[in-house]
Each structure stands twice: as structure tokens, then as C-alpha cells.
Amino acid sequence: MNHTSQNPADREFSAEEINAANSRTLMGTLGIAFTLLSPGRIEAGMPVEKRTCQPFGLLHGGATLALAESVAGQGSMMLCGPDEVAAGVQVSCNHISSAKEGDKVHAVGTIIHQGRTSHLWNVDIFTSTGRLVSSVRVTNSILKRR
């Protein structure tokens, strides 16, 4: 990964590198894998299986929120300068429909507002057949690294 540029849009990001770095985090535990990393647009998938489901075989809302926050957080980190870090401060979610065990959901995050001290993301989560499961808004605060 190239972090030498001062312009975040000039950095190169590899989904494989990010996924490997996240393997021992909550993202790895839930099976979240990034599939597209570009400034202002992030995509990731997550399996709908026992570890991400409610006891009756439907995708757990908490797993959905973890997916959305992961997508928005990675997106903000890509837009941050080398002396900055993103921290989630607010999440708002509407669950529209369900995803069943055995499916895989796909999250598409797009930036709505990129300010100096905050980023606002919209993250839509779809089933493998393209049905909207949840629509999530995530606000990240942009902080100076300590």
C-alpha cells in the first residue's frame, strides 16, 4: 500500500491488503471482505451464516450495522490525510427486508459529504439477488492522529 502521497486520491489501495490486515478484527470474525476501494465509493460483502444471523436464520441487525460501519470507516480512512484518522460518531439504519442464512449480502458505500472534520456516508446493503436489505447513514469524525 502506498501511503507516501499527501493527496489521498493518489494513494493505491488493494482490497487483498486491507482484507488481510482486517483478518483478526471484527471484520474478519464476521467474514467481511472488501471488493472495491476507491475514493468516495467502497464495496464489501459478508456471508449470511450462523455467526451473522439471529437464532431463527435471518441476518442480525448488529451484523448489518458492523458491515455498514466497516465500509464507511474504510472509506473515510482512504480520504484522510496521513496525519488523520476517522472515528465513527453516529449510525442510523433502516432495515427494509431480510436476508436468509446461506445468502451473501453486498454493501455499497458512497460519500454524501466530505468536510474537513466530518464525513457522511450512505451505505446500502443488498442480497445476492439485488434486494435492498438496509439503508444506513454513517457519520465519521476526522481527527488528528496523536
DSSP 145: -
Sign of CA dihedral 135, 119, 139, 143: positive
Q: Give the full edge-to-edge strand order of the sheet including 118-126.
A: 33-38, 41-47, 104-114, 118-126, 132-144, 84-95
Give the whole-angstrom CA distance, residue 65 versus residue 93.
8
Radius of gyration (C-alpha) of the chain in whole angstroms: 15
**69 counts as catalytic:** yes
From start to end of the chain, where are the E strands? 33-38, 41-47, 84-95, 104-114, 118-126, 132-144
Of 12, 16, 69, 101, catalytic: 69
What residues act catalytically?
Answer: 69
